[in-house]
Amino acid sequence: MTLHREGYLIMATGLILLTGIQIGNYFLYTATGWLWLFLVLTLGALVMAYLIIQFFRVPARTCVYSENDIFCPADGKVVVIEEVEEGEYFKDKRIQISVFMSPMNVHANYTPISGLVKYVKYHPGLFLVAWHPKSSTDNERSTVVVEHVSGKEVLFRQIAGAVARRICYYVQPGQKVKTGDEFGFIKFGSRIDIFLPLDSQINVKIGDVVKAKLTKIGELK
């Protein structure tokens, strides 16, 4: 396991602040002798340090895939599988699969299928809770479309939530990507929508707990 570069500044700042709090905690203890307060505050500092570090963890995973496989781009839970009208790029009906990421999930995001990046667009917006029906169209978000070697296209969209306040993405139009390549990161809880052709095979169901690079969510036909 490694730690993501997007978290270096936040982790350093958080650990410095927690160290300062703990130093103050020690002087408070020496002045008052309140051991119970010292232990409570120490435990709180340790928990906060753990939460900050674990959020930016990047587990070592190997993505083993076939040419037409579609893999989950993020850790989380499947909260939507439905046929919808995708209005930004395709402007027609697609199968939407949405994965909700809690603050406890790994937040690095990975390309669900190999191909050529055809479209990338960032949209500033609101910060509605990630499961809100309008979060897909009203929240801060980024949209990426990859064209598979078959000519079919897959769209995936990072969506900020009520807590997530920064979307990071690293791909550009014309770039070739492989299934499981890292394409972005979302800080502090959010959601990813994947839009697939209607004839795609779907391998997950609502409520499934999925993992990036490991869970096959479908297959192009």
Catalytic residue numbers?
190
Q: What is the DSSP letter of 5?
A: G
CB 116 within 8 A of CB 174: yes
How far apart CA 125 and CA 55 sit, in angstroms, is 24
Q: Give the closest residue to 96 by CA, choosing from 122, 127, 70.
A: 70
Sorted by sequence, the CB contacts under 8 Å of residue 112 that are 6+ apart come out as: 70, 71, 72, 73, 146, 154, 156, 179, 194, 217
CA 62 to chain centre: 18
Residue tagged 């809880």 (tokens): 189
How far apart CA 204 and CA 213 sit, in angstroms, is 14
Length of the chain: 221
